[in-house]
Chain A
């Protein structure tokens, strides 16, 4: 049974749901982590991404540490993904 998302993560969850109604594909997973990395605490980002993807929280938390390190993801993939999120309310989310 899926545990309800915490209220302070609900807008992020909804943003991701709007941008990826069929779920986050593996090819979008790391660029999405990288895009949101600067806007959320590591644990909160891991929690919401684990919720959205069904991945284990601790695996995602380790991936969050990875995207914040010197292993930088593809800038082109991040830019493409940002355009997708902008069409789904990313700018408004940033302003919250």
Chain B
């Protein structure tokens, strides 16, 4: 099982995403989940920006993703919020930690901030990608 951050969902959906093939290969055969927080962010971005191609891809993508409740681990809730680590970063990555699964994200800075506070989560970091409105 893999926990997908918002940025990962966007990289899957983006038209001409240069990282989609890499992500597909990584998730192959595994159940994908998104926290309620990440799902809400993703759907807001899609509704605001996606064109028809990206909206159609988002629909197909979300059919393969299970939305789970936010449930961050105790150790994640002890992390200090800084400019490098926001509340939603903690909720999403911390929920993956609670489940003992890898979280996929494009936010290397947040991951470094967590490590800098002496906590290491299982993460897969990939390059970011934006929706193009196509």
Contacts and interface: CB of A to CB of B under 8 A. Distances in A.
Interface of A: 6, 8-9, 11-12, 38-44, 47, 56, 58-59, 61-66, 68-71, 96
Given A63-B130, A65-B10, A69-B130, A39 B84 contact: yes
Interface residues of B, number: 28
B109 A38 contact: yes
A82 B81 CA distance: 26
A62 B84 contact: no
Nearest to A71: B130
Contacts of A6: 81
Taking chain A's interface residues, is the majority helix, strand, or loop, or is none over half, making it mixed? helix
B44 A58 contact: yes
B65 to A, nearest CB: 18
Contacts, number: 79
A66 B18 CA distance: 12
5 contacts: A40-B84, A42-B7, A61-B41, A62-B49, A65-B128
A12 B130 contact: no
B107 A42 contact: yes
Interface stretch (B56-64, B66-74, B85-93): B85-93
Contacts of A62: 10, 45, 48-49, 130-131
Contacts of A56: 48
B113 A41 contact: yes
Contacts of A44: 83-86
A42 B128 contact: yes
Nearest to A68: B128
A43 B86 CA distance: 7
B106 interface: yes
Which of A68, A70, A71 gathers the greatest number of chain B CB atoms within 10 Å? Answer: A68
B97 to A, nearest CB: 17
Given A40-B109, A41-B86, A56-B48, 11 more contacts: A38-B109, A43-B88, A43-B89, A43-B107, A44-B83, A47-B86, A58-B48, A62-B48, A64-B128, A69-B129, A69-B130
